Structure 1
């Protein structure tokens, strides 16, 4: 080496244009994008199959609308992916206020469907505020947790974060029990990602069990009904569906029949449960049963594999995050996705109560699709900035 040639420091090498070009060669996670695209394709196939026996003037109505939702969702994801997600931390109070505001709007302007007030009817679709609220809660809680990063082991911090979680969760439970439980899962997971003390989790679990006993056992015995009748019916009917085969147990019984009849490779065009209208809500709550009947174990297993791929990449992105705020957002999104998949598939196969929780990117509906794409966009933003930050520090992130 020539003595006059300056020796480059590691930081100089990392900051070179060539290394920057390499680090930005993939500004998004292609595997995450592949999982999302795969689920969207399966959604359109399943909704199309479920619409065959609906008697609509245009049998492609639901498929066309879902495709439009996917297109709008993709635009939302792209916008979310290119913004600096770290700036959202400064908006935590506004995001939390927006969360509470849109939930309260449903109480004032929401329409009642099957005994519950869930959504506001708009010209183009029904806006279900609890779906957008999940993402708003994730972003807001991440900001509040980071503000107390030096006091994460304090009991006061755990209490504050859970209180901020339970306020919107309680409001949502009054509308939709299932979505409210997702809110609680998000709050607990974000505390876990932040490194909250195990003793605090033990105390929260004890309090949770005490609350369940109070709501389901103690309160009814003294004449106080906390849950609406339809909510209690949904929670208990899955344990003994044959006791009420004409109402609450009917949906789950038909769902299990549909999945069972699909066997290994499905019944294809010979499917009867969805096409002959035996299976209710076959393009929304029970779309997984439609997949199971038409494409069998192979199709259902492939869909679950796509969800496993989606969650795996989200976990990978969590580990790549350049800061705690990004890791918390990724953790909250993972909790949201996992809870919804587990509960929805569980209620389709009869191991979970019917709660109306949508299957992400599969269930027909604009609110769920758009909110999930927003979550995917945030994950992509965390991924891109995590790779760029690692490159600037001279580190190489693996696949």
Structure 2
């Protein structure tokens, strides 16, 4: 069987060199490995039942997926944009038909080895499909009709995710789409109009609709927003999570309390400490030093992704990198923000840190696309005689 085009390109680009050429982005890889190791150690010390072993399993499968995707010519995905978009829509419809309600949400489908959350994979599928649609209509980006059509492509699946209901994941869809439109060169007035429209929609959903007896949000979602906006007047148990998280992070001080003395985690005062509030576990166990290390690794991840936007061999790759960047940065901001009380609780996971197969595998697929963009950018530079050294 003949080698794939991307493998032949790699072989041709590296053939004849007196020293090995580095095609993978090593700094992106270092950030990925560092976050995975910290995640496994944090989960192992704060949970029972073999969750850490499961997380290692997800990481191994994810790494295999990342390597496989990195060897694939991502540009060919443009040819399958309709299929990718259709698959995303179908996946987001499945929970509404098949999933059992868990804590008021129908977002997970039970599989033999783990619970699959289609909205997680849908994030990457939307980014790929939307990047292709934007490239196809690039010459008409200045038209309002184009901006409206492209945004509707994201709002459709976001509405399906909200119906589950999963407000956190739905907001990731919207943020990724807005970022990609901005990077593509959509006029600023169009972006401002979209943001204004979303602001008006929030007012209608949060204030006007309840006043006339129409509740768009679920009761627990309303409690979360009420607890965030007016914590002193909150009569529910919503603020309990945030308060325990603040105690855990604050008690870690400079270097943390260690494994044995992390009472908020060990005595389960801190809820969901292996998923939504994993950053609180890091703060209590390793203190400011541990939290700073985690944030530094994310900063490295974000920096390398930012660079891929500028070094990609084509606009399609730049838009994919921009969408992934928006996904990672938004989830980081929201998750860490809610643990310290500056963002409402939305159930958004912390990439590569929170326990969960769907989130982990989706993030590794996204990282595989980033590595593919990097590899092919190096190959393109090498074919022009500039070599493949890391910059």
TM-score higher than 0.5: yes
Counterpart CA distance in 2 for 1:44 and 1:311 is: 21
Counterpart of 1:326 in structure 2 is 317
Return the alpha-carbon distance in structure 2 between the equivalents of residues 211 and 297 of structure 1.
38
**Corresponding residue to 1:384 among 375, 378, 384:** 375
2:26 maps to which of 27, 30, 35: 30
Greater gyration radius? 1
Q: Per-residue displacement from partner, 1:150-202 (whole Å, max 9, x unpaired)?
A: 11111111111100000001111122001100000000000011011011111
Alignment of 1:36-185 (within 5 A): 36-51=32-47, 59=48, 61-174=50-163, 175-185=165-175
Q: Does residue 191 of structure 1 match 2:187?
A: no
CA contact (8 A) 2:226 2:234 kept: no
Distance 1:197 1:398, change over 3 A: farther
Q: Which residue of 2 aligns with 1:291?
A: 282
TM-score (ref. length: structure 2): 0.93
| 1:112 alignment partner, SS class | coil
CA contact (8 A) 1:347 1:353 kept: yes
Report the counterpart of residue 219 of structure 1 in structure 2: 209
| SS in structure 1 at match of 2:265 | coil
Instruction: Report the equivalent of 2:267.
Output: 276
Render the CA deviation track for 1:238-279: whole Å, top value 9, x for unaligned. Answer: 233343476111101100000000011000021100100100
The match for 2:299 among 304, 308, 313 is 308
Q: CA deviation at 1:349?
A: 0.5
Report the alpha carbon displacement of residue 348 of structure 1 after superposing the two structures with TM: 0.4
Using the size of structure 1 for normalisation, the TM-score is 0.91
- 8 A Cα contact 2:158 2:173, kept in partner: yes
Over 3 Å counting, the alpha-carbon distance change for 1:323 and 1:165 in structure 2 is same
C-alpha displacement of 1:219? 1.1
1:259·1:289 contact (CA, 8 Å) conserved in 2?
yes
Equivalent pair of 1:23/1:391 in contact (CA under 8 Å): no
Question: How many Å separate the matches in 2 of 1:349 and 1:236?
Answer: 16
Task: Find the aligned partners of 2:64 and 2:390 in 1 and give their Cα distance.
Answer: 28
Secondary structure of residue in 1 paired with 2:108: strand
How far apart, in 2, do the equivalents of 1:217 and 1:230 lie? 16
Residue 359 of structure 1 corresponds to 350
Correspondence 1:212-291 to 2 at 5 A: 212-244=202-234, 247-268=237-258, 269-291=260-282
- Over 3 Å counting, the alpha-carbon distance change for 1:245 and 1:258 in structure 2 is farther
Change (3 A) 1:225 1:22: farther
Q: Distance in 2 between matches of 1:282 and 1:21?
A: 49
Q: Which moved further from structure 2: 195-204 or 363-372?
A: 195-204
1:375 aligns with 2:366: yes
Conserved in 2, the CA contact under 8 Å of 1:344 and 1:357? yes
Change (3 A) 1:154 1:266: same
TM-aligned CA distance change 1:154 to 1:22, over 3 Å? farther
Structure 2 residue ranges without an equivalent (≥5): 1-11
Kindly indicate whether the alpha-carbon contact (under 8 Å) linking 1:19 and 1:391 is maintained by their aligned counterparts in 2. no
SS in 2 for 1:358: coil
Contact 1:344 1:359 in 2 (8 A): yes
| Distance in 1 of aligned mates of 2:290 and 2:13 | 46
**What is the aligned-residue RMSD (CA, Å)?**
1.8
* 1:60 Cα offset (Å): 5.5
Q: Deviations for 1:292-350, whole angstroms, at most 9, x for unmatched residues?
A: 00000000010000000001001111111000000000000000000000000000000
Runs of 4 or more, structure 1, over 4 Å off, are: 16-24
Q: Does structure 1 retain, via aligned residues, the 8 Å contact 2:14–2:20?
A: no
Unaligned runs of 5+ in 1: 1-15, 52-58
Count how many residue pairs are aligned between Structure 1 and Structure 2: 378
Distance 1:18 1:221, change over 3 A: closer
Change in Cα spacing, 1:90 to 1:63, as seen in structure 2 (3 Å) is: same
